[in-house]
Amino acid sequence: MSAAKLNLNTLNDLAKSVFDIEAESILKLKEKINENLNQAIEIIMKSSGRVIVSGMGKSGHIGRKIAATLSSTGTPAYFLHPAESTHGDSGIITRQDVVIAISNSGETLELLNLLPLIKRFEVPLIAFVGNLNSTLGKRADIVFDVSVEKEACPLGKAPTASTTAALAMGDALAVCLLKRRGFSAEDFLLFHPSGSLGKGVLYTVGDLMIKDTDLPIADENINFLNAVEIISEKKLGCVLLVNSCGKLTGVITDGDIRRILMKHMNVDKLITKDVMTKNPKTVSEQEIAVKALAVMEKYSITSIAVCDRYNNPIGIIHIHNLLKAGVA
């Protein structure tokens, strides 16, 4: 079909077919996951070195992304350009490393040139290939079949579905390694100190909470209107209610006030204990700030009481605190 005859609907259909082909290619990878995944994970976990990822052309771009994902999730990795490796860069490979080589054909000359060094150093070789019977597929210690039935490119030439499949397999390996290592949000901070995600684990609730004399705390038996006065005075949108032992028993928020006023014609004699929200959500001051944000988002609230291990309120963390810190 000539370019002049292409219309918007035709191009939209073509774009959708790309999604279908690539999605199907990824889904079929599920059938190819077997003991090779567990073996690859154990080899990498036992290694005292890094994961060296290599690939040529489009596979090289995928390799760079896989190496970056591994590094940011607790598995030190480095991308080695195979063409440069024969000019001295292969010196980066040590006997303690693991190599991941990516090649759809499995016959990429630049990658095959690395095999003598890899074998001489007895470095474990993991291959992502589209042809299990290729030279790379046969020489690798562990092979991942990332073959696809067809490329999304209508010419069948440009690497599209095949590179997507390789990328997905790399992501799966990285995520499994993350889980295997017990990699936490705090660990993630070490590699992502900037941005809202990094700040979310950089700060604890204790760093950002409102505390001491600014806290709107009252006895659960006070008059409802007195509680409203405290909310207005402290300007935090809520009052924390405690029993005679100082334990948090409930909360009244701005939203609760509207609900109570709609339900009760006469509020002059209302006791807060009878109308408060009981067993409110709480966090400890040791929690990372992003945990507080997650609770707020889950329950559609804007503030949370911070309590000690005895359930005594010691602070409030408000969405405004998170916004100012760049967490939310």
Q: What's the pLDDT tens digit per position in 165-208? A: 999 999 999 999 999 988 776 666 555 555 555 555 678 899 99
**Rounded Cα distance, 253 and 147, in Å:** 57
Q: Is the separation of the CB atoms in 71 and 77 below 8 Å?
A: yes
The CATH homologous superfamily to which domain 3-183 belongs is Glucose-6-phosphate isomerase like protein; domain 1 (3.40.50.10490)
pTM of this structure = 0.62
DSSP 207-265: HH-EEGGG--EEETTSBHHHHHHHHHHHTSSEEEEE-TTS-EEEEEEHHHHHHHHHH-S
Of the two residues 81 and 1, the one the predictor is more confident about is: 81
- pLDDT at site 294: 86
User: If you average pLDDT over residues 266-287, what whole number do you get?
Assistant: 92
**Rounded Cα distance, 295 and 281, in Å:** 8
- pLDDT at site 204: 87
Q: What is the DSSP letter of 204?
A: B
**Rounded Cα distance, 70 and 224, in Å:** 55
The CB density around residue 44, as the number of other CB atoms within 10 Å, is 24
With b for 16 or more beta-carbon neighbours within 10 A and e for fewer, the 207-237 pattern comes to: ebbbeeeebbbbbbebebeebbebbeebebb
C-alpha dist (Å) from residue 314 to 231, 283, 304: 17, 10, 11
pLDDT per position as a tens digit, 83-121? 886 655 677 889 999 999 999 999 999 999 999 999 999
Amino acid, single-letter form, for residue 198: G
Lowest mean pLDDT among 7-16, 111-120, 273-282, 308-317: 7-16
Q: Is the separation of the CB atoms in 82 and 103 below 8 Å?
A: no
- pLDDT at site 88: 58
C-alpha dist (Å) from residue 139 to 53, 114, 134: 16, 11, 9
Q: Which two tokens stand for residue 8?
A: 């918007």
CATH architecture of the domain formed by 205-325:
Roll (3.10)
E strand intervals along the chain = 51-55, 77-80, 98-103, 125-129, 142-145, 210-211, 217-219, 238-242, 248-253, 277-278, 282-283, 303-307, 313-318
pLDDT per position as a tens digit, 12-60? 888 999 999 999 999 999 999 999 999 999 999 999 999 999 999 999 9
* Orientation of helix 35-46 relative to helix 161-181, angle to 10°: 60
pLDDT surpassing 90 at residue 251: yes
Domain layout of the chain by residue ranges: 3-183, 205-325
**Rounded Cα distance, 56 and 137, in Å:** 16
Give me Rg for the CA atoms of the chain: 29
Which of 124, 127, 95 is closest to 111 using CA atoms? 127
Give the count of alpha carbons within 13 A of 119, CB side only. 10
**Rounded Cα distance, 211 and 316, in Å:** 7
